[in-house]
Amino acid sequence: MASSPIDTSKELKLERYNSYIRRLNSTKLIVASSKLLFRVTLLVALILVFFFIINYPSFTSSENSNPHHFNIHTTTHNLLSSSFYGGGAAWEKQVRHSSTPRRVNGLSVLVTGAAGFVGSHCSMALKKRGDGVLGIDNFNSYYDPSLKRGRQKLLAQHEVFIVEGDINDAELLSKLFDIVPFTHVLHLAAQAGVRYAMKNPLSYVQSNIAGFVNLLETVKLANPQPAIVWASSSSVYGLNTNVPFSESHRTDQPASLYAATKKAGEEIAHTYNHIYGLSLTALRFFTVYGPWGRPDMAYFFFTKDMVQGKPINVYVTQDDKEVARDFTYIDDIVKGCLGSLDTAEKSTGSGGKKKGPAQLRVYNLGNTSPVSVNKLVTILENLLNVKAKKNVIKMPRNGDVPFTHANITLAKKDFGYKPTTDLSSGLRKFVKWYVRYYGIQSKDLDSSNDHSQD
């Protein structure tokens, strides 16, 4: 039966109306889902900003650009690296595995600043002889952090795990001591560099004083209390003119804030030894150099600038005398650190209470043969086959001292410390590492580099 024309137009209208409603609904749906998507994106962005602020406070606080900013991270901590991932079973397993000795009577050492120059070399040496080693490092950007990551990678290949965290993070430190009964702490984390102290003075207070105290506060409560060996500096001799520098010489005239914070560390060590019975050994390092070294040090950036054909500043004293350093090769320093750890007596306290007198030591670790900066440049010229563009200028009044020279009698007597690497041999090894690491074309360099043993 045919339908009437009126019926057809009604159906058509109904159909049009339905299709209008469907379009309206789907538009509403699109608008609603767009709103939802926008809100979810906004929420995710806010969460990301929150995590970024927590994990990279330096970006928001512009710590490096504002030397007056001072932020001691004693109560806050890096969520991603410590309590967040740090609470996990897998993380604890890594911590335990790394710090467990593999030899009878092996040490279990917490190395602070393990991704640093001396820290990475010592961690490797300890691990190689069967000791347990756990590193902690904040990977700060005082110098190129990729170098620190490179050292971390190397250590990971030897099963040394580095916890990413700060020595000012009390919660993280006590967590590590809850997990591991460390026998020793090798404390090498510090704000290094003599001249940078004029640019960012408070970073020295934060690392070298507050960080050290925070570490000692944790260690005093640990059970067992470990013995602590830590890095002081030749710079504590400051304006002392008595040579060679002996541990008994005066150290109350620091020439830089760096030196002053290291000297403060020695006094703080005395206090914790006296009150809590902590066994403490300070090592006064003399201008340590070598492969995987610090790019802020003269031998390192002279090499970089000379390879690139850039000029270098060679300092002389105000009365035009040569400036000299008792440059000490890293392998000799490592032997000194291990010797100190091996001869460190146990701390005597427990639970924050002293039970009896404990060992308190200070040693020079130098090379005993100062070399002028001019001579250092000549050695580099020969190794690199490059003539340096030298600007000879008077030493700026920025904390540098004219010379250093170690008397090492005490370290020799107590743990057989005997440096064996002269500056030429040590720099040869450094240059060999440098050209390899930075992929410098060897055709530009003296072929004698190839004979080095490192």
Question: Mind telling me the catalytic residues?
Answer: 258
Q: What is the smallest separation between the CB atom of 110 and ligand UGB, expressed in angstroms?
A: 21
Residues 244/406, Cβ–Cβ less than 8 Å = yes
Give me the count of residues in the chain: 454
Integer Cα distance of 82 and 163 in angstroms: 8
In this structure, what DSSP letter does residue 209 have?
Answer: I
Residues 74/101, Cβ–Cβ less than 8 Å = no
Q: Which of 243, 290, 247 is nearest to 419 (CA)?
A: 290
- The stretch near ligand UGB (CB under 6 A) out of 230-238, 334-342, 383-391, 434-442 is 230-238
With CB under 6 A as the contact rule, the residue among 82, 138, 200, 233 that binds ligand UGB is 233
Nearer CB in complex with ligand UGB: 136/376: 376
- The stretch near ligand UGB (CB under 6 A) out of 181-189, 280-288, 428-436, 445-453 is 280-288
- Report CA dihedral (150, 151, 157, 161) to the nearest 10 degrees: -120
Q: What is the smallest separation between the CB atom of 189 and ligand UGB, expressed in angstroms?
A: 13
With CB under 6 A as the contact rule, the residue among 305, 322, 400, 414 that binds ligand UGB is 400
As a whole number of Å, the end-to-end CA separation of the chain is 103
Nearer CB in complex with ligand UGB: 330/358: 330
The partner residues of 184 in beta bridges, in order of sequence, read: 109, 227
Nearer CB in complex with ligand UGB: 172/334: 334
The contact pattern for ligand UGB, residues 169-208, with x = CB under 6 A and - = no contact, is -----------------------xxx--------------
Q: Is 416 helix (H, G, I), strand (E, B) or coil?
A: coil
Find all residues with CB under 8 Å of 362, minimum gap 6, and list them. 232, 247, 266, 281, 282, 284
Number of other residues whose CB lies within 10 A of the CB of residue 343? 16
How many residues interact with ligand UGB (rule CB under 6 A)? Answer: 19
The partner residues of 280 in beta bridges, in order of sequence, read: 228, 360
Nearer CB in complex with ligand UGB: 119/132: 119
With CB under 6 A as the contact rule, the residue among 287, 303, 364, 421 that binds ligand UGB is 287
Helices (H), 101-211: 117-128, 145-157, 170-179, 201-204
Q: What is the smallest separation between the CB atom of 298 and ligand UGB, expressed in angstroms?
A: 4
Q: Is 291 helix (H, G, I), strand (E, B) or coil?
A: coil
Q: What is the smallest separation between the CB atom of 361 and ligand UGB, expressed in angstroms?
A: 18
Nearer CB in complex with ligand UGB: 79/316: 316
Binding of residue 119 to ligand UGB (CB under 6 A): no
Integer Cα distance of 238 and 247 in angstroms: 13
Binding residues for ligand UGB restricted to 328-367, rule: CB under 6 A? none
The contact pattern for ligand UGB, residues 289-328, with x = CB under 6 A and - = no contact, is --------xx--------------xxx-------x-x---
- Core vs surface per residue 294-328: b (16+ CB within 10 A) or e: beebbbbebbebbbeeeebebbbeeeeebbbbbbb
Q: What is the smallest separation between the CB atom of 75 and ligand UGB, expressed in angstroms?
A: 29
Q: What is the smallest separation between the CB atom of 265 and ligand UGB, expressed in angstroms?
A: 12
In this structure, what DSSP letter does residue 112 have?
Answer: E
With CB under 6 A as the contact rule, the residue among 286, 329, 363, 430 that binds ligand UGB is 286
Residues 297/427, Cβ–Cβ less than 8 Å = no
Q: What is the smallest separation between the CB atom of 34 and ligand UGB, expressed in angstroms?
A: 57
Indicate if the alpha-carbon torsion angle 244, 246, 248, 249 is positive or negative.
positive
Q: Containing H/E element for 48?
A: helix 5-55
With CB under 6 A as the contact rule, the residue among 235, 240, 279, 347 that binds ligand UGB is 235
Binding of residue 244 to ligand UGB (CB under 6 A): no
Binding of residue 263 to ligand UGB (CB under 6 A): no
Q: Which positions touch ligand UGB (CB under 6 A)?
A: 192-194, 233-235, 285-287, 297-298, 313-315, 323, 325, 373, 395, 400
